[in-house]
Amino acid sequence: MYALTFGGKEMIEYSNVSDPQLLQPTDAIVKITMAGICGSDLHVYHGRETGLDHGTVMGHEFTGIVEEAGRDVRKFKKGTRVLSPFTTSCGECFYCRIGLTCRCEKGNLFGWVEKGHGLHGAQSQYIRVPMADSTLLPLSNDLSERKGLLLGDVFSTGYFCADNAGIKPSSVYAVIGCGPVGLMTVIAAKHLGASTLFAIDTIPERLAMAKNFGAVPLNATLVNVKEEILNNTHGRGADGVMEVVGSSATLKLAIDLLRPGGTISSVGVHTAKHFSFSPGEAYDKNLIYKSGRCPAHYYAEKLLRTEVPQRYAIEDIITHQFSLQQGAKAYEVFDKKLDNCIKAVLMTS
Protein backbone atom coordinates (compact mmCIF):
# COMPACT_ATOMS: atom_id res chain seq x y z
CA MET A 1 0.00 0.00 0.00
CA TYR A 2 0.96 3.65 -0.20
CA ALA A 3 1.47 5.93 2.79
CA LEU A 4 3.07 9.22 3.81
CA THR A 5 6.10 8.43 5.90
CA PHE A 6 8.47 10.52 7.97
CA GLY A 7 11.81 10.86 6.22
CA GLY A 8 13.41 13.45 8.55
CA LYS A 9 12.96 17.16 9.17
CA GLU A 10 10.48 18.60 6.66
CA MET A 11 10.61 15.43 4.58
CA ILE A 12 7.31 13.69 3.98
CA GLU A 13 7.67 10.77 1.58
CA TYR A 14 5.02 9.05 -0.51
CA SER A 15 6.16 5.48 0.09
CA ASN A 16 5.24 1.95 -0.82
CA VAL A 17 5.07 0.14 2.55
CA SER A 18 3.84 -3.30 3.61
CA ASP A 19 0.14 -3.74 4.32
CA PRO A 20 -0.80 -3.79 8.01
CA GLN A 21 -1.77 -7.20 9.42
CA LEU A 22 -3.98 -8.24 12.35
CA LEU A 23 -1.56 -8.85 15.24
CA GLN A 24 -4.11 -9.46 18.01
CA PRO A 25 -7.64 -10.92 17.87
CA THR A 26 -8.92 -7.53 19.12
CA ASP A 27 -7.34 -5.63 16.18
CA ALA A 28 -9.13 -4.36 13.09
CA ILE A 29 -7.73 -3.27 9.75
CA VAL A 30 -9.44 -0.15 8.44
CA LYS A 31 -9.38 0.99 4.82
CA ILE A 32 -8.91 4.71 5.17
CA THR A 33 -11.15 7.01 3.18
CA MET A 34 -10.03 10.39 4.53
CA ALA A 35 -7.05 11.43 6.66
CA GLY A 36 -6.36 14.84 8.21
CA ILE A 37 -3.19 16.83 8.56
CA CYS A 38 -3.10 18.31 12.05
CA GLY A 39 -1.14 21.11 13.73
CA SER A 40 0.35 18.39 15.94
CA ASP A 41 1.84 16.68 12.83
CA LEU A 42 3.81 19.88 12.26
CA HIS A 43 5.77 19.38 15.51
CA VAL A 44 7.08 16.14 13.95
CA TYR A 45 7.44 17.69 10.47
CA HIS A 46 9.68 20.46 11.79
CA GLY A 47 11.75 18.04 13.85
CA ARG A 48 10.61 19.66 17.13
CA GLU A 49 9.61 16.22 18.41
CA THR A 50 12.57 13.91 18.51
CA GLY A 51 12.58 10.14 18.59
CA LEU A 52 10.12 9.28 15.84
CA ASP A 53 11.55 6.50 13.66
CA HIS A 54 12.17 7.33 10.02
CA GLY A 55 9.63 5.42 7.96
CA THR A 56 6.80 5.93 10.49
CA VAL A 57 3.47 6.43 8.74
CA MET A 58 2.29 9.94 9.69
CA GLY A 59 -1.06 11.14 10.95
CA HIS A 60 -3.72 10.41 13.56
CA GLU A 61 -6.98 11.71 12.11
CA PHE A 62 -9.08 9.43 9.93
CA THR A 63 -12.35 7.93 8.83
CA GLY A 64 -12.66 4.67 6.96
CA ILE A 65 -14.34 1.34 6.41
CA VAL A 66 -13.51 -1.80 8.36
CA GLU A 67 -11.67 -4.13 6.00
CA GLU A 68 -10.95 -6.97 8.39
CA ALA A 69 -11.90 -7.57 12.04
CA GLY A 70 -10.02 -9.88 14.43
CA ARG A 71 -11.94 -12.82 15.87
CA ASP A 72 -12.57 -11.06 19.23
CA VAL A 73 -13.91 -7.85 17.68
CA ARG A 74 -17.64 -7.72 18.51
CA LYS A 75 -18.89 -4.27 17.51
CA PHE A 76 -17.43 -3.91 14.03
CA LYS A 77 -17.37 -6.08 10.96
CA LYS A 78 -16.11 -5.76 7.40
CA GLY A 79 -17.90 -2.87 5.75
CA THR A 80 -18.72 -0.80 8.90
CA ARG A 81 -18.09 2.91 8.40
CA VAL A 82 -15.96 4.23 11.28
CA LEU A 83 -14.19 7.21 12.75
CA SER A 84 -11.36 7.10 15.23
CA PRO A 85 -9.98 9.20 18.07
CA PHE A 86 -6.30 10.01 17.76
CA THR A 87 -5.37 7.50 20.48
CA THR A 88 -6.39 3.91 21.14
CA SER A 89 -8.11 3.01 24.41
CA CYS A 90 -9.03 -0.22 26.20
CA GLY A 91 -12.37 0.87 27.67
CA GLU A 92 -11.65 -1.00 30.92
CA CYS A 93 -8.76 0.57 32.85
CA PHE A 94 -9.11 3.19 35.60
CA TYR A 95 -8.64 6.08 33.16
CA CYS A 96 -11.03 4.76 30.53
CA ARG A 97 -13.68 4.23 33.21
CA ILE A 98 -13.41 7.85 34.42
CA GLY A 99 -13.62 9.19 30.87
CA LEU A 100 -9.92 10.12 30.56
CA THR A 101 -9.50 7.83 27.54
CA CYS A 102 -6.43 9.81 26.39
CA ARG A 103 -4.55 8.42 29.40
CA CYS A 104 -5.58 4.79 28.87
CA GLU A 105 -3.03 2.48 30.49
CA LYS A 106 -2.80 0.48 27.26
CA GLY A 107 -3.40 3.37 24.85
CA ASN A 108 -1.13 4.63 22.09
CA LEU A 109 -1.07 7.60 19.77
CA PHE A 110 -1.48 6.82 16.08
CA GLY A 111 1.45 7.87 13.92
CA TRP A 112 4.09 7.41 16.57
CA VAL A 113 6.70 4.66 16.25
CA GLU A 114 9.84 5.03 18.35
CA LYS A 115 12.66 2.43 18.36
CA GLY A 116 10.29 0.03 16.60
CA HIS A 117 7.49 0.38 19.16
CA GLY A 118 4.18 2.18 18.71
CA LEU A 119 1.54 2.60 16.06
CA HIS A 120 1.75 3.64 12.46
CA GLY A 121 -0.50 6.46 11.39
CA ALA A 122 -3.45 7.26 9.19
CA GLN A 123 -2.03 9.14 6.19
CA SER A 124 -2.16 5.86 4.41
CA GLN A 125 -4.46 3.47 2.55
CA TYR A 126 -4.91 1.07 5.48
CA ILE A 127 -4.29 1.17 9.22
CA ARG A 128 -4.14 -1.39 12.03
CA VAL A 129 -6.36 -0.37 14.96
CA PRO A 130 -5.66 -2.19 18.24
CA MET A 131 -8.48 -2.67 20.78
CA ALA A 132 -10.89 -1.89 17.94
CA ASP A 133 -14.10 -2.31 19.98
CA SER A 134 -13.13 0.38 22.49
CA THR A 135 -11.18 2.62 20.08
CA LEU A 136 -13.30 2.95 16.95
CA LEU A 137 -16.72 4.58 16.78
CA PRO A 138 -19.39 3.92 14.16
CA LEU A 139 -19.95 6.75 11.67
CA SER A 140 -23.64 6.89 10.82
CA ASN A 141 -24.74 7.63 7.28
CA ASP A 142 -26.13 11.05 8.20
CA LEU A 143 -22.62 12.25 9.09
CA SER A 144 -20.13 13.14 6.40
CA GLU A 145 -16.57 11.89 6.43
CA ARG A 146 -15.44 15.44 7.07
CA LYS A 147 -17.54 15.71 10.23
CA GLY A 148 -16.39 12.25 11.33
CA LEU A 149 -12.76 13.15 10.83
CA LEU A 150 -13.10 16.34 12.90
CA LEU A 151 -14.94 14.48 15.67
CA GLY A 152 -11.92 12.20 16.11
CA ASP A 153 -9.67 15.11 17.04
CA VAL A 154 -10.16 18.84 16.59
CA PHE A 155 -13.90 19.14 17.24
CA SER A 156 -13.68 16.94 20.33
CA THR A 157 -10.66 18.95 21.47
CA GLY A 158 -12.46 22.25 20.95
CA TYR A 159 -15.46 20.92 22.86
CA PHE A 160 -13.22 19.68 25.69
CA CYS A 161 -11.57 23.12 25.84
CA ALA A 162 -14.91 24.95 26.06
CA ASP A 163 -16.29 22.40 28.53
CA ASN A 164 -13.28 22.93 30.81
CA ALA A 165 -13.88 26.70 30.75
CA GLY A 166 -17.15 26.12 32.66
CA ILE A 167 -19.25 28.28 30.33
CA LYS A 168 -22.11 30.26 31.91
CA PRO A 169 -24.41 32.28 29.62
CA SER A 170 -23.99 35.67 31.32
CA SER A 171 -20.20 35.55 31.53
CA VAL A 172 -17.51 36.86 29.16
CA TYR A 173 -15.06 34.53 27.41
CA ALA A 174 -12.08 34.75 25.09
CA VAL A 175 -10.58 32.14 22.77
CA ILE A 176 -6.91 32.77 21.94
CA GLY A 177 -6.02 31.25 18.55
CA CYS A 178 -8.41 30.67 15.65
CA GLY A 179 -6.72 27.70 14.00
CA PRO A 180 -8.76 24.54 13.42
CA VAL A 181 -8.97 23.77 17.15
CA GLY A 182 -9.69 27.37 18.18
CA LEU A 183 -12.50 27.63 15.62
CA MET A 184 -14.01 24.40 16.95
CA THR A 185 -13.69 25.86 20.46
CA VAL A 186 -15.68 28.89 19.31
CA ILE A 187 -18.50 26.67 18.02
CA ALA A 188 -18.50 24.61 21.22
CA ALA A 189 -18.42 27.64 23.52
CA LYS A 190 -21.36 29.21 21.66
CA HIS A 191 -23.21 25.90 21.82
CA LEU A 192 -22.58 25.68 25.57
CA GLY A 193 -24.14 29.12 25.96
CA ALA A 194 -21.37 31.75 25.87
CA SER A 195 -23.23 34.90 24.85
CA THR A 196 -20.17 37.16 24.88
CA LEU A 197 -17.23 35.43 23.25
CA PHE A 198 -14.14 37.13 21.88
CA ALA A 199 -11.89 35.31 19.40
CA ILE A 200 -8.28 36.47 19.14
CA ASP A 201 -5.87 35.86 16.26
CA THR A 202 -3.82 37.85 13.77
CA ILE A 203 -5.04 36.25 10.52
CA PRO A 204 -8.05 38.07 9.00
CA GLU A 205 -9.54 35.00 7.23
CA ARG A 206 -9.50 32.95 10.41
CA LEU A 207 -11.03 35.82 12.38
CA ALA A 208 -13.74 36.13 9.71
CA MET A 209 -14.58 32.45 10.18
CA ALA A 210 -14.67 32.89 13.98
CA LYS A 211 -17.13 35.74 13.42
CA ASN A 212 -19.30 33.47 11.24
CA PHE A 213 -19.33 30.97 14.09
CA GLY A 214 -20.66 33.66 16.45
CA ALA A 215 -17.58 35.21 18.12
CA VAL A 216 -16.50 38.85 18.26
CA PRO A 217 -13.18 38.88 16.37
CA LEU A 218 -10.18 40.75 17.81
CA ASN A 219 -7.15 41.13 15.58
CA ALA A 220 -4.19 41.24 17.97
CA THR A 221 -2.07 43.20 15.47
CA LEU A 222 -4.68 45.96 15.13
CA VAL A 223 -6.24 46.37 18.57
CA ASN A 224 -5.12 46.26 22.18
CA VAL A 225 -6.76 42.98 23.14
CA LYS A 226 -6.45 43.52 26.89
CA GLU A 227 -8.05 46.96 26.70
CA GLU A 228 -10.95 45.56 24.64
CA ILE A 229 -11.61 42.80 27.17
CA LEU A 230 -11.34 45.16 30.16
CA ASN A 231 -13.71 47.63 28.48
CA ASN A 232 -16.28 44.87 28.12
CA THR A 233 -16.01 43.54 31.67
CA HIS A 234 -16.20 46.71 33.85
CA GLY A 235 -12.40 46.57 34.06
CA ARG A 236 -12.42 43.09 35.65
CA GLY A 237 -11.20 40.80 32.86
CA ALA A 238 -12.74 37.74 31.21
CA ASP A 239 -14.46 35.06 33.29
CA GLY A 240 -12.78 32.36 31.21
CA VAL A 241 -9.95 32.28 28.65
CA MET A 242 -9.44 29.35 26.29
CA GLU A 243 -5.81 29.08 25.15
CA VAL A 244 -5.62 27.21 21.84
CA VAL A 245 -2.13 27.99 20.53
CA GLY A 246 0.50 26.40 22.76
CA SER A 247 2.99 29.25 23.19
CA SER A 248 4.40 31.03 26.23
CA ALA A 249 3.15 34.35 24.85
CA THR A 250 -0.44 33.18 24.58
CA LEU A 251 -0.43 31.60 28.04
CA LYS A 252 0.80 34.92 29.44
CA LEU A 253 -1.89 36.73 27.47
CA ALA A 254 -4.47 34.31 28.89
CA ILE A 255 -3.68 35.21 32.49
CA ASP A 256 -3.48 38.92 31.64
CA LEU A 257 -7.00 38.82 30.17
CA LEU A 258 -8.50 36.86 33.07
CA ARG A 259 -10.40 38.25 36.06
CA PRO A 260 -9.59 36.99 39.58
CA GLY A 261 -11.27 33.63 40.15
CA GLY A 262 -11.53 32.98 36.42
CA THR A 263 -10.57 29.83 34.52
CA ILE A 264 -7.85 29.28 31.95
CA SER A 265 -8.65 26.27 29.82
CA SER A 266 -5.59 25.41 27.76
CA VAL A 267 -5.43 22.75 25.06
CA GLY A 268 -2.43 24.15 23.18
CA VAL A 269 0.48 21.69 23.28
CA HIS A 270 3.22 23.45 25.25
CA THR A 271 6.90 22.67 24.93
CA ALA A 272 8.29 25.41 27.21
CA LYS A 273 9.95 24.16 30.38
CA HIS A 274 8.21 26.66 32.66
CA PHE A 275 4.95 28.56 32.91
CA SER A 276 5.09 32.06 31.52
CA PHE A 277 3.36 33.39 34.63
CA SER A 278 4.57 33.00 38.19
CA PRO A 279 2.97 31.05 41.04
CA GLY A 280 2.44 34.47 42.65
CA GLU A 281 0.44 35.74 39.66
CA ALA A 282 -1.63 32.55 39.75
CA TYR A 283 -2.24 33.10 43.48
CA ASP A 284 -3.16 36.74 43.01
CA LYS A 285 -5.65 35.76 40.32
CA ASN A 286 -7.15 32.87 42.35
CA LEU A 287 -6.49 31.04 39.12
CA ILE A 288 -8.31 27.90 38.04
CA TYR A 289 -6.15 26.21 35.37
CA LYS A 290 -7.25 23.23 33.31
CA SER A 291 -5.24 21.69 30.50
CA GLY A 292 -4.20 18.50 28.79
CA ARG A 293 -4.70 16.10 25.94
CA CYS A 294 -8.33 15.70 24.93
CA PRO A 295 -9.99 12.40 25.84
CA ALA A 296 -11.26 12.28 22.27
CA HIS A 297 -12.98 8.89 22.51
CA TYR A 298 -15.01 10.09 25.50
CA TYR A 299 -16.00 13.36 23.80
CA ALA A 300 -16.62 11.93 20.32
CA GLU A 301 -18.87 9.22 21.77
CA LYS A 302 -20.74 11.78 23.83
CA LEU A 303 -21.17 14.14 20.85
CA LEU A 304 -22.34 11.30 18.59
CA ARG A 305 -25.24 10.76 20.99
CA THR A 306 -26.39 14.36 20.30
CA GLU A 307 -27.31 16.28 17.18
CA VAL A 308 -24.43 18.71 17.78
CA PRO A 309 -22.17 17.48 14.93
CA GLN A 310 -25.11 17.63 12.52
CA ARG A 311 -26.24 21.09 13.67
CA TYR A 312 -23.03 23.07 13.08
CA ALA A 313 -21.03 23.51 9.87
CA ILE A 314 -17.83 22.34 11.56
CA GLU A 315 -16.53 21.10 8.19
CA ASP A 316 -16.24 24.71 6.95
CA ILE A 317 -12.74 24.78 8.44
CA ILE A 318 -11.56 22.20 5.86
CA THR A 319 -10.31 24.53 3.17
CA HIS A 320 -8.05 22.15 1.23
CA GLN A 321 -8.20 18.61 -0.07
CA PHE A 322 -5.32 16.65 -1.65
CA SER A 323 -4.65 13.15 -2.85
CA LEU A 324 -2.28 11.01 -0.77
CA GLN A 325 0.25 11.26 -3.57
CA GLN A 326 0.28 15.05 -3.15
CA GLY A 327 1.24 14.61 0.52
CA ALA A 328 4.47 16.61 0.52
CA LYS A 329 2.71 19.53 -1.18
CA ALA A 330 -0.23 19.23 1.24
CA TYR A 331 2.14 19.53 4.23
CA GLU A 332 3.78 22.58 2.70
CA VAL A 333 0.47 24.33 2.00
CA PHE A 334 -0.85 23.51 5.49
CA ASP A 335 2.37 24.46 7.26
CA LYS A 336 2.90 27.77 5.45
CA LYS A 337 -0.85 28.56 5.49
CA LEU A 338 -0.60 29.09 1.72
CA ASP A 339 -3.79 30.07 -0.09
CA ASN A 340 -5.38 30.81 3.34
CA CYS A 341 -5.28 27.15 4.27
CA ILE A 342 -6.89 26.38 7.64
CA LYS A 343 -7.31 22.60 7.56
CA ALA A 344 -6.17 20.13 4.90
CA VAL A 345 -7.37 16.59 4.32
CA LEU A 346 -6.02 13.76 2.18
CA MET A 347 -8.18 11.47 0.10
CA THR A 348 -6.49 8.15 0.46
CA SER A 349 -8.01 5.92 -2.19
In the complex, the residues that contact ligand NAD under the rule CB under 6 A are 38-40, 153-154, 157, 176-182, 200-203, 206, 220, 244-247, 249-250, 267-269, 293-294
Give the residue, chosen from 3, 90, 303, 324, that forms a contact with Zn ion under the rule CB under 5 A.
Answer: 90
Nearest Cα residue to 233 out of 199, 282, 197: 197
- Which residue's CB is nearer to ligand NAD, number 200 or number 241? 200
If contact means CB under 5 to 8 A according to the sort of partner, which of ligand NAD, Zn ion, none does residue 90 touch? Answer: Zn ion
What is the C-alpha separation between 327 and 344, in angstroms, rounded?
10
- Which residue's CB is nearer to Zn ion, number 59 or number 237? 59
User: C-beta of 241: minimal distance to Zn ion in Å?
Assistant: 22
- Which residue's CB is nearer to ligand NAD, number 20 or number 246? 246
* Greatest alpha-carbon span in the chain: 62
Beta strands in the chain (DSSP E): 2-6, 12-16, 28-37, 62-69, 81-84, 112-114, 117-119, 126-129, 137-138, 172-176, 196-201, 216-219, 238-243, 258-266, 288-291, 318-323, 343-347
* 135 counts as binding Zn ion under rule CB under 5 A: no
Q: What are the b/e assignments for 104-128, b being 16+ CB within 10 Å?
A: beebbbbbbbeeeebbbbbbbbbbb
If contact means CB under 5 to 8 A according to the sort of partner, which of Zn ion, ligand NAD, none does residue 330 touch? Answer: none
Q: What are phi and psi of 236, to 5 degrees?
A: -85, -40
Q: Which stretch binds Zn ion (CB under 5 A): 18-26, 82-90, 267-275, 334-342?
A: 82-90
User: C-beta of 90: minimal distance to Zn ion in Å?
Assistant: 3
What is the C-alpha separation between 289 and 229, in angstroms, rounded?
19
- Which residue's CB is nearer to ligand NAD, number 55 or number 292? 292
- Which residue's CB is nearer to ligand NAD, number 29 or number 137? 137
User: C-beta of 193: minimal distance to Zn ion in Å?
Assistant: 26
- Which residue's CB is nearer to ligand NAD, number 129 or number 294? 294
User: C-beta of 213: minimal distance to ligand NAD in Å?
Assistant: 14
Nearest Cα residue to 113 out of 244, 269, 3, 30: 3
If contact means CB under 5 to 8 A according to the sort of partner, which of Zn ion, ligand NAD, none does residue 262 touch? Answer: none
If contact means CB under 5 to 8 A according to the sort of partner, which of Zn ion, ligand NAD, none does residue 288 touch? Answer: none
Neighbour-count burial of 269, counting CB atoms closer than 10 A to its CB (0-12 exposed, 13-18 middle, 19+ buried): middle
CA 348 to chain centre: 20
Give the residue, chosen from 153, 163, 201, 239, that forms a contact with Zn ion under the rule CB under 5 A.
Answer: 153
* DSSP element (H, E) containing 298: helix 296-304
Interface residues with Zn ion (CB under 5 A)? 38, 40, 89-90, 93, 96, 104, 153
